[in-house]
Structure 1
Amino acid sequence: MSSSLTYQAEPELDPKDFQKLLIASTLGERRPVEDLERLEKMLVNADLILTARKDGELIGIARSISDHCYSTYLSDLAVHSDYQKLGIGKMLVKLTKAAFPLANLILLSAPKAVAYYPKIGMKKHEHCYLSVPEDPIY
């Protein structure tokens, strides 16, 4: 029996499937996986949700927010640990870029993935700043 790998846009992705994948990919270490309501809002407010499925099972996701013409923020790129290093993440990044061809693609790397992005052709930007919710702005 052959296995099937498919990529598709899934704007109605089930938050429970998203939660399971985040945990299985280790991205769950930095996402609010215990808060299903928040995960649902993350999905509902995304401009683009691309998925990879193998035999129907969710094994990859690229979730982005975009103005469609200048900048696209790839806020989540996750591939199930059992399927990493097979080109699935790279294909999800390519499909994200193709969806908004005029936009710059921007992301914040997970610590474990810092070495990955240069390998697929992305450039490190040294002028990025971050303010987490508990940080005050003076």
Structure 2
Amino acid sequence: MALEWRHAIDAVNAVDWDELSRLYEIAPLGHKPPESLKQVYAASLFKCLVYEDGRLVGAGRALADGLDCSYICDVAVHPERQGTGLGREIVAALVERSRGHKKIILYAVAGKEPFYRKLGFRRMKTAMAIFRDEPLAIARGLVEED
């Protein structure tokens, strides 16, 4: 089936936020409430939503300032479409829209680093983070324990 790619959210390209929330749950990227997704997508300069037969099968976004930094995050692919290259295509679309920024940063789920390395991303040696739930971040392998 042909995929429909949307890069804007507006009256013509409305999003079913409940459907997007379900996609993140089954991808699995965790629980992201619809209202939270609406807020973070509104704040993101670049968006990528992929539909197949009217059903949302992939999504991703990039927070960007238009010049210095673009941060790609929340790339999710429906389990039925995982392994088909759709995730790679979503990341490539967001990287292309981010061209011209001094740096493009991507936050990966622990264990997925080799996938992103194939797409040109390199591990940062100086990245630091503060997590609201630090014990969970440590348990998931996202940050080192002191």
- TM exceeds 0.5? yes
Q: Hey, what does 1:107 align to over in structure 2?
A: 106
Asked which structure has the greater RCO (Cα within 8 Å, sep 6+), the reply is 1
What does 1:1-138 correspond to in 2, within 5 Å?
A: 3-12=1-10, 13-28=15-30, 32-33=31-32, 35-103=33-101, 104-133=103-132
Aligned length: 129
Deviations 1:63-117 (A, max 9, x none): 1110112211112111111111211111111111221211121111112422211
- Structure 2 CA distance for aligned equivalents of residues 110 and 134 of structure 1: 16
Normalising to structure 1: TM-score of the pair? 0.82
Structure 1 unaligned residues grouped into runs of 5+: none
Question: Contact (CA 8 Å) 1:11, 1:48: kept in 2 or not?
Answer: no
Instruction: Give the conservation status (yes or no) of the 8 Å contact 2:45–2:64.
Output: yes
Shift in alpha-carbon separation, 1:121–1:134, aligned structure 2, 3 A: closer
Q: Secondary structure at the match of 1:115?
A: helix
Q: Secondary structure at the match of 1:27?
A: coil
Confirm or deny: 8 A CA contact 2:64 2:70 kept in the other structure.
Answer: yes
Letter in 1 for 2:67: C
Q: What secondary structure is seen at the aligned counterpart in 1 of 2:63?
A: strand
Tell me: CA distance 1:112–1:25, structure 2 relative to 1, closer, same or farther (3 Å). Answer: farther
Q: Which amino acid aligns with 1:107?
A: L
Q: 1:15 touches 1:43 (CA, 8 Å); kept in 2?
A: no
Task: Name the CA shift for 1:10/1:16 in 2 (closer, same or farther; >3 Å).
Answer: farther
Change (3 A) 1:10 1:20: farther
